[in-house]
Structure 1
């Protein structure tokens, strides 16, 4: 009986470890609706969020694949970094990541103004390996924030405006504040 419970406990622990972060290739497309972002669970440490994005030309015009997701930073924790990983493919320097405090991104993707975002930045291949959180917090016209981001719910908006089948990969690092 003890062996079965030990094995069951190990299986549950490994399942919860795998549940952190998000990979569109394995888990399906992230939401394309800022008012209903996909919930992404983060754990202490490094959490990878990976997806596909970009625009494509259609007979009716250009269609842009935007990704929206929300995270919750627990009490006693902080989001200390968002690193752009080398596996990212962009169509130029038109890639964008923005964050809004709360459970939704209420800024419309067309005709909206970024002033309602907590922060945002554009990024490109030159930014691979870079922590984007400081740039997100000081993006032109944004409300601004000071990294690290403390406890709360944050909603993210990721998109690429270039016509491409591109992909992104971020590592979100959750830590506990230094005493």
Structure 2
């Protein structure tokens, strides 16, 4: 009986661990530091709907910039970026997160040109649990965007803006775009349902 219980407990642990790691694109405590080279971002790969990137940024003794890139396949879209975790002191501190088209970042961080960016945001502790994608699309001076981002390759730049340390967990939510035929069927089903009720 004890042996059976131990086997069940071990199986449950393995299943939980597998589920927990299934949506993890990168974790610096496991995979090492993300690239600090804007011309050579770390290549990441989409895992499913939820895609977590976990890392730290600091400012001293030098600015710790993080660059990474991934591709959204045809038929899918980046529908949200959830700031699942942002630990920083002081709590009023803001960091920096930018997005650009392509697999390399288009601007030198020592003399950034915001017009080359799709968008950026200055996330802080008050943003934890929220979608910051649309705020990024409203970044002043950038190309800007609204709504989900479609198929393509995107690069990201994250860093601290002051002499503080931050712990991040970003969840990139990737969803499938319904085919036009599927949308038509949903509309037809709604009409049929209303007729039956009437």
TM-score, reference length from structure 1 = 0.83
Match of 1:51, SS state, is strand
Alignment-derived partner of residue 48 in structure 1: 52
Cα separation, 1, equivalents of 2:137 and 2:23: 28
Match of 1:64, SS state, is coil
After superposition, residues 123-138 of structure 1 pair within 5 angstroms as 123-138=123-138
Alignment-derived partner of residue 15 in structure 2: none
Cα separation, 2, equivalents of 1:154 and 1:50: 17
Match of 2:108, SS state, is coil
Moved over 4 A (4+): none
Cα separation, 2, equivalents of 1:34 and 1:56: 19
Alignment-derived partner of residue 5 in structure 2: none
Cα separation, 2, equivalents of 1:90 and 1:147: 29
Aligned-residue RMSD, C-alpha = 1.8
Alignment-derived partner of residue 33 in structure 1: 37
Cα separation, 1, equivalents of 2:58 and 2:147: 28
Deviation at 1:21, TM superposition (A): 1.2
Asked if 2 retains the 8 angstrom alpha-carbon contact of 1:93 and 1:122, the reply is no
Q: Highest CA radius of gyration, 1 or 2?
A: 2
Could you report, residue by residue, the CA deviation over 1:42-101 in whole angstroms, capped at 9, with x for unpaired residues? 1321111110101004xxxxx10000000100011101000001x311344430110110
Long gaps (5+) in structure 1: 1-13, 58-62
Alignment-derived partner of residue 69 in structure 2: 70
Deviating more after overlay: 65-74 vs 112-121: 112-121
After superposition, residues 150-161 of structure 1 pair within 5 angstroms as 150-161=150-161
How many residue pairs get aligned? The number is 159
Asked if 1 retains the 8 angstrom alpha-carbon contact of 2:24 and 2:53, the reply is no
Alignment-derived partner of residue 162 in structure 2: 162
Deviating more after overlay: 108-117 vs 28-37: 108-117
Asked if 1 retains the 8 angstrom alpha-carbon contact of 2:119 and 2:145, the reply is yes
Match of 1:154, SS state, is strand
Higher relative contact order (CA 8 A, sep 6+): 1
Q: Which structure has greater strand proportion?
A: 1
TM-score, reference length from structure 2 = 0.75
Deviating more after overlay: 72-81 vs 105-114: 105-114
Q: Which structure has greater helix proportion?
A: 2
Deviation at 1:165, TM superposition (A): 2.7
Alignment-derived partner of residue 140 in structure 2: 140
